[in-house]
Structure 1
Amino acid sequence: MADAMDVDSAGPRIQVNLTSRDAALAVPHQALRVSTSFRRIDLSTLVNHLLESPKPIPFDFLIDGQYLRTSIDEYLTAAGLSSEKPLDIEYVRSQLPPTYVGSFEQDDWISSVHSSSSPGAATILTGSFNGTAQITSLSGQVLAKTLPFHTQSVKAVTWVDSPSLASSDAASFLTAGMDRTINLWSYQHSDEPSSSTVPLSATTAYISHKSTINSLSYSPSTSQFLSASSDNTIALWSTDSSLLPTVSVPQPTSFSRKRRRTTQKLPNIEKKGPLAVLTPHTAPVSQITHAADPTAAYSVSWDKSIITHDLVTAQVVDTRVTQHPLLSVTLLPSLNLIAAGSAARHITLHDPRASSNNVQTAVLRGHTNSVVSFARSPESEYIFASGAHDGCVRIWDVRGVSSTTEDGAGDADKSSGSLFAIKRESGTGKVFSIDWSRDVGLVSVGEDKKIQVNRGELMADVTVLDQTAR
């Protein structure tokens, strides 16, 4: 350690090597000797000094995949390490916990949510158990609501074209639900204040599935979308109706016949069939998402499998079988990882490439009920959120996956805890769906009938509420 530069000469010292995956924040490589009494705040001050930052940047520090929450000396003692050996420390921008901003109540349980991300025209699209979808402003005003074309609960919603102040074109979105149909809707955003809610009519119905539709995924680059159903199938569609065959309406169930008799008579709309139907699963398909390449997709199912699809050939590329039924999936594209939420309350990280030998690369534990929804951070490629039936939203950093193995599964089975846990402001109810956008924040919906919004920028000065725990 003779070539290391002393930073603090007081007390026992240790050589540290500071690194960052963010090239804009990298410091020149040099060995430093610091006091073993250093904590996060001391190391953060040191990194800011080395960067010569005009405004201090808050940093967190990772050692072997674990966040440093004690002094270096306490960490070494707990890990059984010696101060005689150099210590590699990775520094990352501190992720501040999203604090509670507000919540807006609806008439029934809210099943799904998708925020628009257009600056100045940001809105929140939600689907409800009452069979409708609505568009809500960030002030809580209901801007538009769909007419009851769906005869049962809406289970999934997604924007196709988000509202924009820069365009006079109408925005559009998709809804799908327990009545086995998908509907396309048109919405004209206006920046003029209005006290009334605009009623929306569907323009196209997409029909193929024989059971509840659980998930939708839209690809802007191809104008195609996918639907996943409890009938074990996945359907591929296009928003260009001219590419789809015309079909007849499915036979109504006894429940939908009763529901339809109690609603107003609705106009007929064009009804279209799919481009293709994929049948690789042997149990209900919980969720589907496009890959970074829009000609591929990932699906998860109650049959415990994660399947990679080639959408051009409608063929299965890869199948990975896990130990538990899977309910949700999201892609971490720059890391070549997907996260899958299970009915067993945990999240598993997977490398979906066919060349990967591991069924899973890490296990994230913390939820106490089924993990049903994911949302990626708009600020960091390493951070994502999960929503679960335990009424909690958790935020995770994949860089903080510890190398501690569990259950004798070997080095490939790593475990990690979440950075933050966000409870429902109402204090009760399952979380059914979450979304995270730069313009709106972290939005969660669920059994308490409320849209809850939390916000927290990486470098913002915020007051952490008791409602959010680290």
Structure 2
Amino acid sequence: MTAELAESQIQIKLVTKQQSHAVPDVPLSVPTNIDTKNLNKLVNELLKENVAVFLKAIEFDFLVLGELLRVPLLEHLQEKNASTEATIEVEYVERTPAPQPEDALLHDDWVAAIEVADKWILTGCYDNTVNIWTTKGKHQAIGNNHSNCIRSVSWLRKGDPSGGFVSCSHDLSAILWHWEPGTTEVHPKIILKGHERGIDTVSVSPNSARLVSGGWDTNLKIWSASLEQEDDEPPNKKSKGLTVRTPVHTLKGHKETISGSKWMDNSTVATSSMDHTIKVWDVELCGIKTEIVGQKAFLSLSWSPLTNTILASSADRHIRMYDPRSSEGSVCKTTYTSHTLWVSAVCWSNYDEHLFMSGGYDQCVKLWDTRCPKAPLYDLQGHQGKVLCVDWTSDKYLVSGGSDNSVNIFKNTHQQTLVR
């Protein structure tokens, strides 16, 4: 950059929604090549002058034209084709701190499924077992009623392990389990039978009344999630000593494996598939409401009720954010690129509308801000093999599992400034 350009000035106005960090929003002249480091110095100097009690310097991120600043200001404005003549509004927000590594939980085989509730971590493994661990790393309980690898698990009541859990497997079945938190035994209660090939995904409705499953037979099946035997289930119909439950409905529409499923509300489910589509289903009317067509196989998806958007990961190394209700332009709103191999798993934060995590075959787990599509906030190190699953159901922990037989736990240190 030339000396003349480095010395040129631009007018900015610093604004924030975090009132405790507010400084006078008057226009300021700064060098055109100012970056986040020097903007941080500037804001902290202004805070010293204007805040009665200034305890320590605060790290901020800066939003310009809706995107986090990651390059010098002038370069950012040029990328956005924005004028440098007008006063530029620069919004500053307290920076999300890096999650801190807590523990690694070693399994006997690949870990393909994971979900946290309270202080308990539920995992599903390629050695055909489901496992419950404490977030402190203690192995609590194991269930081995499946006869093939576990591909997906979910607590039946979000955040409440006392409600039991469900697991699904390539043995063509799903099992509903009862567990008393703190005890060392899990008890299989109901076996779900109806799929003709392996099951890859299971998801429980927000009201815990129903669940859906999908997999290699391309069918989405809807089931009762009750742990109790129901009136239409004959008491003498047993498999492996368990009551057999059949699906309430079977929804056809996908042409290849269903790789992911998430309830959007108690009557709407989104599914991702290897057939390059995401489908949104009305499970009351048993039909497709919306279809999103991609260019590559979709490997996972996550739904955010905070933004009403879907994140989906693909075999082309990209993560995309979709607004299924969009009537203007493309339903694909943003593409996030940093992984170097297939992105196997994505999961929204459930308390901050901008944050999500991802895991890929490149051994990387990444923490993202939706306002920074070109680079993650942080790479979370630790896996020595493909990352197969990630979960951020708990506000406190980010967890991931992979082909290195381990689950990595990261403590979330983010000060939750956004109220759920």
Contact 2:221 2:249 in 1 (8 A): yes
Q: Residue 376 of structure 1 aligns with which residue?
A: 348
Contact 1:57 1:459 in 2 (8 A): no
Contact 1:441 1:455 in 2 (8 A): yes
Which of 30, 35, 41 is residue 39 of structure 1 equivalent to? 35
Contact 2:365 2:381 in 1 (8 A): yes
What is the distance in 1 between the residues matched to 2:292 and 2:393?
Answer: 30
Q: Does 1:230 align with 2:186?
A: no
Contact 1:13 1:33 in 2 (8 A): no
Which of 239, 257, 273 is residue 225 of structure 2 equivalent to? 239
Q: Residue 323 of structure 2 aligns with which residue?
A: 351
Q: Map 1:1-400 onto structure 2 (within 5 A).
A: 12-20=8-16, 22=17, 27=22, 30-36=25-31, 38-44=34-40, 46-47=42-43, 49=46, 52=51, 55=55, 56-72=57-73, 75=76, 83-116=84-117, 118=118, 122-146=119-143, 148-161=144-157, 170-190=162-182, 198-240=184-226, 241=228, 245-246=232-233, 268-291=241-264, 293-353=265-325, 355-400=327-372
Contact 1:244 1:272 in 2 (8 A): no
Contact 1:215 1:228 in 2 (8 A): yes
What is the distance in 1 between the residues matched to 2:20 and 2:314?
Answer: 36
Contact 1:211 1:231 in 2 (8 A): yes
Contact 2:114 2:390 in 1 (8 A): yes
* 3-state SS of 2:311 partner: strand
Partner AA of 1:135 in structure 2: I
Partner AA of 1:175 in structure 2: S
What is the distance in 1 between the residues matched to 2:280 and 2:74?
Answer: 46
What is the distance in 2 between the residues matched to 1:443 and 1:212?
Answer: 25
Instruction: Provide TM-score, normalisation by structure 1.
Output: 0.77
Contact 2:272 2:301 in 1 (8 A): yes
Between 1 and 2, higher relative CO (CA 8 Å, sep ≥ 6) is seen in: 1
Seen in structure 2, the aligned counterparts of structure 1 residues 23 and 80 have a Cα distance that, compared at 3 Å, is: closer
Question: Aligned-pair distance for 1:46?
Answer: 4.9
Seen in structure 2, the aligned counterparts of structure 1 residues 242 and 249 have a Cα distance that, compared at 3 Å, is: closer
Contact 1:245 1:273 in 2 (8 A): no
What is the distance in 1 between the residues matched to 2:79 and 2:268?
Answer: 45
Question: Aligned-pair distance for 1:333?
Answer: 2.4
* 3-state SS of 1:43 partner: helix
What is the distance in 2 between the residues matched to 1:234 and 1:273?
Answer: 13
Contact 2:14 2:23 in 1 (8 A): no
Seen in structure 2, the aligned counterparts of structure 1 residues 343 and 73 have a Cα distance that, compared at 3 Å, is: closer
Seen in structure 2, the aligned counterparts of structure 1 residues 271 and 353 have a Cα distance that, compared at 3 Å, is: same
Partner AA of 2:195 in structure 1: H
* 3-state SS of 2:63 partner: strand
What is the distance in 1 between the residues matched to 2:231 and 2:171?
Answer: 20
What is the distance in 1 between the residues matched to 2:109 and 2:353?
Answer: 34
Question: Aligned-pair distance for 1:39?
Answer: 3.4
Residues 213-264 of structure 1: CA deviation (Å, up to 9, x unaligned): 11111124252111111110111112235557438678xxxxxxxxxxxxxx
Partner AA of 2:116 in structure 1: S
What is the distance in 1 between the residues matched to 2:230 and 2:107?
Answer: 37
Equivalent residues, number? 402
Contact 2:152 2:201 in 1 (8 A): yes
Residues 263-295 of structure 1: CA deviation (Å, up to 9, x unaligned): xxx5x111111111111111111111011x221
Contact 1:134 1:143 in 2 (8 A): yes
Partner AA of 1:173 in structure 2: F
Residues 302-345 of structure 1: CA deviation (Å, up to 9, x unaligned): 11111111111111111111111111111132223211111111
Seen in structure 2, the aligned counterparts of structure 1 residues 439 and 420 have a Cα distance that, compared at 3 Å, is: closer
Q: Residue 420 of structure 1 aligns with which residue?
A: 378
* 3-state SS of 2:164 partner: strand
What is the distance in 2 between the residues matched to 1:448 and 1:280?
Answer: 35
Instruction: Provide TM-score, normalisation by structure 2.
Output: 0.86
Q: Map 1:397-408 onto structure 2 (within 5 A).
A: 397-401=369-373
Seen in structure 2, the aligned counterparts of structure 1 residues 76 and 434 have a Cα distance that, compared at 3 Å, is: closer
What is the distance in 2 between the residues matched to 1:312 and 1:23?
Answer: 42
* 3-state SS of 1:334 partner: coil
Partner AA of 1:306 in structure 2: I
Q: Residue 3 of structure 2 aligns with which residue?
A: none
What is the distance in 2 between the residues matched to 1:162 and 1:332?
Answer: 15
* 3-state SS of 1:201 partner: strand
Q: Percent identity?
A: 26
Partner AA of 1:125 in structure 2: L
What is the distance in 2 between the residues matched to 1:211 and 1:223?
Answer: 25
What is the distance in 2 between the residues matched to 1:188 and 1:65?
Answer: 47
Seen in structure 2, the aligned counterparts of structure 1 residues 184 and 77 have a Cα distance that, compared at 3 Å, is: closer
Which of 383, 386, 399 is residue 430 of structure 1 equivalent to? 386
After TM superposition, the structure 1 stretch with the greater mean CA deviation from structure 2, 179-188 or 27-36, is: 27-36
Partner AA of 1:269 in structure 2: L
Seen in structure 2, the aligned counterparts of structure 1 residues 29 and 309 have a Cα distance that, compared at 3 Å, is: farther
